Amino acid sequence: MNMKLRRLICGCAALAMLASAASCSSDKDNTASSGSANASGSAADSAESAADTSGEYQRQDIPLDPVTETLSGFDLTPVLGEDSAVPEDFEFSSQGEDGSLKGSASVMDKNFVGEFEGEGFAVVPTENDAVEFEVELPAEGSYDIIAVCATDSAGANMAVTVDGEALTTFQVNTTEFGENKAEKVLVGEGKHTIGLYPQSSSLYLDSLTIKASEKIDPSAFEVNRTLCNPNATDETKRLYNFMCDAYGKYIISGQYSPDNNGTEAREFSQILKNFDEYPAIMGLDLIEASPSRVANGSSGGGEKAVAAAKDWYLNQNGIVTMCWHWNAPEPYIGKNGASWWEGFYSESTDINLSKILNGEDQEGYDLLIRDIDAIANYLKELDDYHVPILWRPLHEGGGDPKWNNPWFWWGSSGAEAYKELWKLMYDRLTNYHEINNLIWVWNGQNLDYYPGDEYVDIVGYDVYADAGDYSSKKWYYDYTKDAPSENKIVAMTENGTLFDPDAAMNDGTRWSYFATWNGEFTIKDMQLSEEYTSFDMWEKIYKHDRVLTLSELPDLKSYPLDTQKYLEEHPDEAPKE
């Protein structure tokens, strides 16, 4: 998320938590009263018995009712893409200089970026400029847009627009004229204006060709179905198996709930009011459970997150994802006069993670362990109550890979220290605390920060696109899926502006799920916000037959552990050919 925006949000959240500390404390038993249709006992009982006098959570053995596995009618038919009527031999070609130039775009005939064809090439300097082509397409379907082009900086992103709307992006990897392309762009039949503009670095376009695309290969979405924790609980395996089954066939909707307010959050009530649906995934944050925030007066954040998670999964059959804006330990916050509640930013902390992890700063190491142990208390309670979690710690560690600018302290000491911290947390939570309900989600944003396949189940990227940019965000998807050495689920783990599900399904950018951040990205003036995503796009997404909302999830508690085995025993439920 944009740093200034996130600072504002988190600052306001911290002040709000302080102002309501007393009410949070008095409401704890009420908000933690969610029970389970499957687990005996109640969260209210847990709130009274979870901790001893030292504050450490005491594990509970909460039995489950016997499970009768069922797919709940969930359709597992592969989705190959729209049946395309585009003739295989269709081709449109034009020289770059023959396009319509917008803004300060111009034509040049100097060969400083390589040899060109024709009389010159189009130069598009900035995102406020463009080169456009009038094209008549024979049918609705998928098209590859092939640009012979160059840029000043290899790896620069270019946007493709259709009739003025951004549909997708592609990466230009050539600093001299070469072929680069946007694949499987869904466009309707008839006359259209196809445009290109740079999102970073200038675009030099020699020629443009448009051809029919090949179909999606469903094997691209076959992933490793074994969780990295060999002791994962059955309910965790069931959720992960469902997500593996859904991957490539559906996009699961998600929304973050501010201050861990659950369905009482304005974001959730407005989505329900407008679309008669809840998102399938609820996002929560353990930020206020960070010991350095508790030491400064924060209260109730962890308890509220646990209560919301229990209610969402146990009572609503929803999926829970959790992040942790880890406020650094007390000795390391307040750099440059920063406030304590800014203690997760690199610029506001003075912490050398490398020294902590190599033994030079023993106090720092002990404090990191203290903090992880504090968070473990909440995760252990959820584990005991059989609530699986998409656990997303140390997020955005690498910052933006194009600029190598980590903005959170856990990434600012470099990739090696970050990976060691990830492994330390994994070992502490999994092996020491024996927490077995976590599906480990990594979105370090930079491939150098990937800790290894054996510590990660799902890979993701946080994408905050420009307002109205509904493209599939294919570059981020393709970049992220290359992090692991084996196929893993790829998710849009946070987002501002939403994306068009038709574009994503059609071009193969099939994010497992999205999780829209709270605040201005969802709500403005107490209503559903159109500042980033139009109401029409909101509605399209929440009504789309390939976007799963809460009511469309199968029963997660009884989903098969092994789908193939289940279908062999229930052949009548096998996918349609």
Active site residues: 396, 494
Give the Cα separation of 24 and 300 in Å (integer): 5
Range 311-348 burial, b when 16+ CB lie within 10 A, else e = bbbbebbbbbbbbbbbbbbeebbbbeebebbbbbbbeb
CA distance 345 to 37: 41
- Compute the distance between CA of residue 548 and CA of residue 551 in angstroms, rounded to an integer: 8
Closest among 550, 322, 556 to 439, alpha carbons compared = 322
> Pairing state of beta strands 141-151 and 203-212?
antiparallel
Contacts of 531 (CB under 8 A, 6+ apart): 467, 520, 521, 524
Token pair recorded at residue 414: 């470099």
Q: Coil, strand or helix: which one is 24?
A: helix
CA 262 from centre of chain: 19
- Relative to beta strand 489-495, strand 514-516 is parallel
Pick from 267, 268, 305, 312: nearest CA to 284: 305
Q: Which pairing describes strands 254-256 and 281-285: parallel, antiparallel, or unpaired?
A: parallel
E-only strand ranges, 427-473: 438-442, 458-463
Residues 6+ away with beta carbon under 8 Å from 49: 58, 60
Task: State the first-to-last Cα distance of the chain, in angstroms, to the nearest integer.
Answer: 42
| Helix, coil or strand: residue 470 | coil
Q: CA 81, CA 329: separation in Å to the nearest integer?
A: 49
Phi, psi of 231 (to 5 degrees): -100, 15
275 CB-side CA count, 13 A: 24
Query: Residue 131: beta bridge partners?
Result: 101, 196
Measure the CA–CA gap between 379 and 238, rounded to whole angstroms. 18
In angstroms, rounded to a whole number, what is the distance separating the alpha carbons of residues 254 and 256? 7
